[in-house]
Amino acid sequence: MRKFKILTLGAGAIGTYIGGSLALAGHQVAFVERPEVAKDLLARGLRLQLRSGEHLIPDPVVVGSLEEALATSEYDIAIFALKSYHTSAFIDSLSTLHTPLPAILCLSNGVDNELALGAALGRENIIAGTVTSAIGRNAAGDITLEKLRGLGIADEHPLADELTQAMTDAGVNAQLFACATDMKWSKMLTNLIANASAAVLDMTPAEIFAHPGIFALEMTQLREALHIMRAQGIHVVDLPGTPVRALAFAVRWLPMVISRPLLTKAVGSGRGGKMPSFHIDLHNGSGKSEVDYLNGAVVRAGKLLGIPTPVNALLTQSLLALTRGEMPLDTYRHQPVKLFG
């Protein structure tokens, strides 16, 4: 099997898991991180707790800038593993590069990153991807695989098939998808569940689903997203280890008395006691949130199509206000009635 030369943009949870797994499988992998983080990773290495046990990569190739990485080596592909709110800054940084980038596999959540990267670098150079496995980040370059599901790769580039095989051989469980849009919107549908509401209300997903009023709100936001998908001809597809079509069926057709216990069990097994990403971002002091790239994407699509999306709009506006410090963090804390009236 071909061994790839891979440039991983970011050594966060996804970047370390995917890049580290490929490195363990014999591929040449370099990581780009901020200079202070790169120095730390060079000193202590990368640590991956996988199903096969704990693995240490003692001497990873880590550089402090994209320019440095491109000046010292050529790569077959780059893995874009940054948060959606970093995409714009990344694109701006490309203006100073003197060396072209390889094709980019974009693993960021949301449905707009590939479009933005494609506008800057050429759509033919972007491969849409999505990670469904649950990855815990202990520190930069130190991750735990909490639940193996897999990774989706859109079959839209000459390297897609070989890359999928390389990922699977590295234990990542990759799968090709014919339609990037179906794959990315289906993943976003799963990202919406008990995410914004948990952050705004400072409640766990279990508490969210235990409350009849908030559960009804959750189902409404998902129905809004499904309405937007249907209007655009976007199909719900199952993702690796993730039965998204069953989720959509439950949201659309099952009464709450049946759907609530089913979805409560599914969310609990998927996340355990871990708080969702929006809550983590809200409380880590970064002042950033991906809500505008998930719930906000539903709202923007609804405006273009003339389809109301009031619940997604409420969750987006409320969480952005909390993130920006326009409201105290305890404004809605454990007060669901205050949020949805």
Measured CA to CA, the distance from residue 132 to residue 278 in angstroms comes to 17
- The residue among 323, 7, 280 whose CA lies nearest residue 137 is 280
Q: How far is CA 111 from the centre of its chain?
A: 10
Measured CA to CA, the distance from residue 336 to residue 332 in angstroms comes to 7
* Per-residue model confidence as pLDDT tens digits over 13-23: 999 999 999 99
Neighbours of 330 (CB within 10 A): 10
* Per-residue model confidence as pLDDT tens digits over 168-211: 999 999 999 999 999 999 999 999 999 999 999 999 998 998 89
Measured CA to CA, the distance from residue 50 to residue 89 in angstroms comes to 32
Average pLDDT value for residue range 154-168 = 96
Mind spelling out the 3-state secondary structure of 5-18?
A: EEEEECCCHHHHHH
Measured CA to CA, the distance from residue 60 to residue 271 in angstroms comes to 30
CA atoms within 13 A on the CB side of 327: 15
Mean pLDDT, rounded, of the chain:
95
Which of 21-30, 260-269, 326-335 bottoms out in mean pLDDT, i.e. has the lowest? 260-269
The predicted pLDDT at position 273 comes to: 59
* CATH classification code of 5-178: 3.40.50.720
Measured CA to CA, the distance from residue 26 to residue 55 in angstroms comes to 14
Strand order in the sheet with 28-32: 61-63, 28-32, 5-9, 77-80, 103-106, 126-131, 151-154, 174-177
* Per-residue model confidence as pLDDT tens digits over 95-147: 989 899 999 999 999 999 999 999 999 999 999 999 999 999 999 999 999 99
Domain boundaries defined on the chain: 5-178, 184-340
* CATH classification code of 184-340: 1.10.1040.10
For strands 61-63 and 53-57, give the pairing. unpaired
Is it the case that residue 330 has pLDDT exceeding 60?
yes
Same fold, 5-178 and 184-340: no
Neighbours of 249 (CB within 10 A): 13
Cα separations in angstroms, 201 against 118, 204, 219, 268: 36, 9, 17, 18
In the chain, the N- to C-terminal Cα span, in Å, equals 58
Bridge partners of 78, per DSSP, are 7, 104
